Amino acid sequence: MINFVLLISRQGKVRLTKWYSPYSQKERNKVIRELSGVVLTRAPKLCNFVEWRGHKVVYKRYASLYFCMCIDEDDNELEVLEIIHHFVEILDRYFGSVCELDLIFNFHKAYYILDELLIAGELQESSKKTVARLIAAQDSLVETAKEEASSLSNIIAQATK
Amino acid sequence: MNPFSSGTRLRDMIRAIRACKTAAEERAVVRKECAAIRAAINENDQDYRHRNLAKLMFIHMLGYPTHFGQMECLKLIASPGFPEKRIGYLGLMLLLDERQEVLMLVTNSLKQDLNHTNQYIVGLALCALGNICSAEMARDLAPEVERLLQFRDPNIRKKAALCSIRIIKKVPDLAENFINPATALLREKHHGVLITGVQLCTDLCKISTEALEHIRKKCTDGLVRTLKDLANSPYSPEYDIAGITDPFLHIRLLKLLRVLGEGDADASDTMNDILAQVATKTESNKVAGNAILYECVQTIMSIEDNGGLRVLAINILGRFLSNRDNNIRYVALNMLMKAVSADAQAVQRHRATILECVKDSDASIRKRALELVYVLVNETNVKPLAKELIDYLEVSDLDFRGDLTAKICSIVAKFSPEKIWYIDQMLKVLTEAGNFVKDEVWYALIVVISNASELHGYTVRALYRAFQVSAEQESLVRVTVWCIGEYGDMLVNNVGMLDIEDPITVTESDAVDVVEIAIKRHASDLTTKAMALVALLKLSSRFPSCSERIREIIVQFKGSFVLELQQRAIEFNSIIAKHQNIRSTLVERMPVLDEATFIGRRAGSLPGAASTPTIPSVSLPNGVAKPVAPLVDLLDLNSDDAPAPSSSGGGDLLQDLLGVDLPPASQQSGAGQASKTGNDVLLDLLSIGSPSAPSSSSAVDILSSNSSNKVPVSPLDDLSSLSLSTGTTSNAAPMMDLLDGLAPSPPTENNGPVYPSITAFESSSLRLTFNFSKQPGNPQTTVIEATFINLSSNTYTDFVFQAAVPKFLQLHLDPASSNTLPTAGNGSITQNLKITNSQHGKKSLVMRIRIAYKINGKDTLEEGQVNNFPRDL
């Protein structure tokens, strides 16, 4: 299973963290510090796996962002690389050629997408289309709620004028 | 409305934070935002609650404390609208984890949302539950999740399936409830549901053997068919990755088949064909294809033997290994490691390639390869492999050298065909990476050297040469100093020249030079310097011409600030100056160290090593000593000791050495000197078996002083490992018994302190007593014999005893003698428990117990906590 997902920028800034195994806040900070030290310093042509505290960290760099997933000893590293790519493709479709700034300002969207992809550290959906459809449906739910709210406040505003 | 909270939008806050030039500026912005959010929370501001939470999440991601926002998550989750719930659940998963008490408060909202009419809200709740639920929540909400496994919308079913995985991992007892709904998922067509269903079944099989049997019997054929259909399916754009339809599903199916096939020939037989097909037909030019092949190879290796498939699998790995892609090579090495146990011969064929990988520029690959080489070594190939590794040691990265050195030492020690080869290789390692060599390793080397009497001259000369080039390697220096001290005369006189050696000329003063360099070198640590002092004392007798110079060097250390060195210097100086007549006997050559005892002791002392790291260091010269030259041995004993206790300990030893009687030493240990030294002194006395061997009273003394110190069993264990017996000692029997190890196996009271048995639990109907014993050599582990006695007049059936212990303990339960407990007076049940206390000496044992049984078919449950364990268990 995937124990956690980390997105780190090349400067070592955290862009997304998702913990599927219990880590206390202190441990989380330590993990992030340690791993960004390890992952960011690896040369480009090396393999995408790092052994770390009895686990394996699979990472892949896309532009300025490192996507890291920490898995158990006997998990399939190559598959996790493919999961990372799957995630990136979905982000790309959603944001329209995604860049780091998209993930900074819309970090919650990135989390929503990840939640449609992984639960309990396991893959949930292998179809990019399905994920996109589910996210779109939920986004439109939010939009309608907002519209209702604003029209409601308009009515109230009118009435109290 | 709060003037602050309305101020900035999420976007503006992120901009402001990004615009900060320094960390201090960033902190200021965050502090201001946090203050505003707190104010809004205090005012119970509703309109901006979701925005504030979003801000908090961002701040949290930057690493600032955000605990004050936790309750806001709960409020948002409790509100009716979807947008609020969506952000609320996100905050819950981000800001909280399963260990926070606040989480319990959300159980009710979760329950409601799991029953919500809006399926997206059900989805949110499932997602949150799957990601952070605790054991209690899992128990409370499992029925809801179980029901949702049959929900009409497949997207909910797949979420429920993953949520179930979390639940059964948290509460394995619940696994059986999920078996039927989970197997139903395997018949689905929707890929998401199928993927999650397969995953759920895999985890179920791992947790419950009942599930494994059920799924193996009912679903293997179906799964094979599903995989076959998938592998043969035509192009489908929705699931296609690099020309393969849904590799994720492929992999999960293969994984489940592996679990089902393991240890079951029939199931393995069913899947042979499809595995062969996947292994041969899958394209291997993209990551996805290789991921499937990798999984397939793992499955082939794990299921019951099929020669043909294994060959296929090993061939795939061979292809992987020669791949240019580092990722593929990494997984190949990883997989070969597992294949070694199945087919070592086939893996050996790739040895050369694997050896190349040890030298790879990529640390991950190097590490894997080294581990693989380590398991591939055997008697026939050890020489070339060790040579390759040692050659590589020279050029390896510094951070890899520690691992590499440890592995080489272990290989060389395990498979060395002859002593001279072992010594040669070890000298090479010491020369290249002496600073990475662990203490046990060079102790072992000294033991071997000491045993190879025909190689003494050769070794000391080789060490002398090595020292000339690598004087900065600490452990090389130590071994050299020790050998020169012992065999210095052989170095100078070229005794025992072998044909392969080049002759060298070393004068007596050259030999002393080496020791002097070692003792004066700034980087030498206390151990090295102390060893050097001992070597000097020995040389002073071996090289009379240098005696004066040696005395001068020793005298310089009389002013050392390190007490240990100062004391030695003073004592040695007085030996040289005043005791010429006994000096030569005093510094005789060390007797041959006993290899078997050393190895035995090393194995025995390993568990204790964690709590008292210096034990192994003192144990070598001390425990292996033969009584022939006890005095020399005593001198050496201290060389590795920690400085603190030895100030007095050293004195005692010296007194012993000068013929002072025993009682002072044992009294002293009783008087609370650092227990470690105390033990060793006593031990030594015993192992020497000097004429004034302890009388029975002092043997008791030893025992009692032991029970009050922190490692009560180890000295006794040492005794038994030397096959001595206190029984014999206390008879004031002649020392010969001790010396020759003729004593019969130790009597039972020798196995460790005796602990009183306790009544661990007593109710009106049942009594439970514990008897304790310790295993020799393992003070942390206690063996408890639990005896259950029925106090009523009914026979108890289906009797089950369960026990739980806190984390610092490890508990192993052996099967009980019976599961039926006859009525009072007609017998009892016994069951053995083994407890390992990782905090031995610091914390006492504690245990919670539960006893379940049936009286006339009616379930009865008794629970209790056992706190009355004897201390020091």
- Please write the tens of the pLDDT for every residue from B774-813: 877 777 888 888 888 888 888 888 888 888 888 888 888 8
Most B-contacting residue of A31, A119, A138, A141 (CB-CB within 10 A), to test interface: A119
Report d(CA B79, CA B33) in Å as an integer. 24
Report d(CA B90, CA A17) in Å as an integer. 12
The residues, ordered by sequence, that sit 6+ positions from B746 with a Cβ below 8 Å of its Cβ are B719, B720, B723, B724, B725, B726, B727
- For residue A46, the chain B residue with the least C-alpha distance is B362
Please identify which residue in the block is written with the tokens 């043997």. Answer: B699
B156 and B123 Cβ atoms separated by less than 8 Å? yes
B598 and B624 Cβ atoms separated by less than 8 Å? yes
Q: Provide mean pLDDT across the span B503-520.
A: 82
| Contact assignment for A125 to B158 by CB distance below 8 Å | yes
The 3 state secondary structure assigned to B566-617 is HHHHHHHHHHHHHCHHHHHHHCCCCCCCCHHHHHHHHHHHHHHHCCCCCHHH
Give yes or no for A92 touching B (CB within 8 A): no
| Contact assignment for B287 to A17 by CB distance below 8 Å | no
Q: Is B24 exposed, middle or buried (0-12, 13-18, 19+ CB in 10 A)?
A: exposed
Measured in angstroms, the CA of A68 and the nearest CA of chain B are apart by: 15
Report d(CA B465, CA B478) in Å as an integer. 14
pLDDT band of residue B727 (cuts 50, 70, 90) is: very low
Helix pair angle (B363-376, B398-415), 10° resolution = 0
B650 and B568 Cβ atoms separated by less than 8 Å? yes
| Contact assignment for A46 to B82 by CB distance below 8 Å | no
| Most confident among B248-257, B392-401, B404-413 (mean pLDDT) | B248-257
| Contact assignment for A125 to B364 by CB distance below 8 Å | no
Give yes or no for B288 touching A (CB within 8 A): yes
Beginning with the edge strand found earlier in the chain, give each strand of the sheet holding B796-804 in spatial order. B796-804, B847-855, B858-866
| Contact assignment for A123 to B87 by CB distance below 8 Å | no
- Please write the tens of the pLDDT for every residue from B444-467: 888 888 887 788 888 888 888 888
DSSP labels, B300-347: HHHSS--HHHHHHHHHHHHHHHT-S-HHHHHHHHHHHHHHHHH-HHHH
Q: Provide mean pLDDT across the span B192-197.
A: 93
Report d(CA B234, CA B250) in Å as an integer. 14
The 3 state secondary structure assigned to chain A is CEEEEEEEECCCCEEEEEECCCCCHHHHHHHHHHHHHHHHCCCCCCCCEEEECCEEEEEEEECCEEEEEEECCCCCHHHHHHHHHHHHHHHHHHHCCCCHHHHHHCHHHHHHHHHHHEECCEECCCCHHHHHHHHHHHHHHHHHHHHHHHHHHHHHHHHHC
| Contact assignment for B90 to A111 by CB distance below 8 Å | yes
- Please write the tens of the pLDDT for every residue from A145-159: 888 888 888 888 888
pLDDT of residue B602: 56
Q: Which amino acid is at B173?
A: D
Compute the mean pLDDT over every residue in chain B, rounded to the nearest whole number: 77
- For B287, the closest of A20, A29, A81 (CB atoms) is A81
The number of beta carbons lying within 10 Å of the beta carbon of residue B271 is: 27
| Contact assignment for B330 to A81 by CB distance below 8 Å | no
Q: Provide mean pLDDT across the span B36-61.
A: 87
pLDDT of residue B292: 93
- For A129, the closest of B199, B238, B330 (CB atoms) is B238
Lookup: tokens for A49? 């796996």
Q: Provide mean pLDDT across the span B323-332.
A: 88
- For residue A13, the chain B residue with the least C-alpha distance is B62
B279 and B316 Cβ atoms separated by less than 8 Å? yes
Give yes or no for A88 touching B (CB within 8 A): no
- Helix or strand (DSSP H, E) at B4: none
| Contact assignment for A47 to B327 by CB distance below 8 Å | yes
Q: Which of A54, A52, A57 is nearest to A7 (CA)?
A: A57
CA A35, A41, A47, A48 torsion-angle sign: positive
| Contact assignment for A115 to B90 by CB distance below 8 Å | yes
- For A138, the closest of B54, B120, B191 (CB atoms) is B120
pLDDT band of residue B702 (cuts 50, 70, 90) is: very low
Top-confidence residue, B443 or B639: B443
Q: Provide mean pLDDT across the span B585-605.
A: 67
Rounded to the nearest 10°, the torsion over CA B699, B702, B703, B709 is 180
- Helix or strand (DSSP H, E) at B207: helix B191-207
The pTM of this model reads 0.66
Which residues 97-126 of B are in CB contact (within 8 Å) with A?
97-99, 120, 123, 126
Q: Provide the 3-class DSSP secondary structure of residue B445.
A: helix
- Please write the tens of the pLDDT for every residue from B469-497: 887 888 888 888 888 888 888 877 777 77
Percent of chain B with pLDDT over 90: 18
Give yes or no for B291 touching A (CB within 8 A): yes
pLDDT of residue B58: 92
- Helix or strand (DSSP H, E) at B813: strand B809-816
pLDDT at B168 over 90: yes
CB < 8 Å to A19, chain B: 97
**Domain B662-866 fold:** Immunoglobulin-like (2.60.40)
pLDDT at B707 over 60: no
- Please write the tens of the pLDDT for every residue from B368-381: 888 888 888 887 88
Give yes or no for B39 touching A (CB within 8 A): no
CB < 8 Å to A11, chain B: none
Predicted complex: ipTM over 0.85:
yes
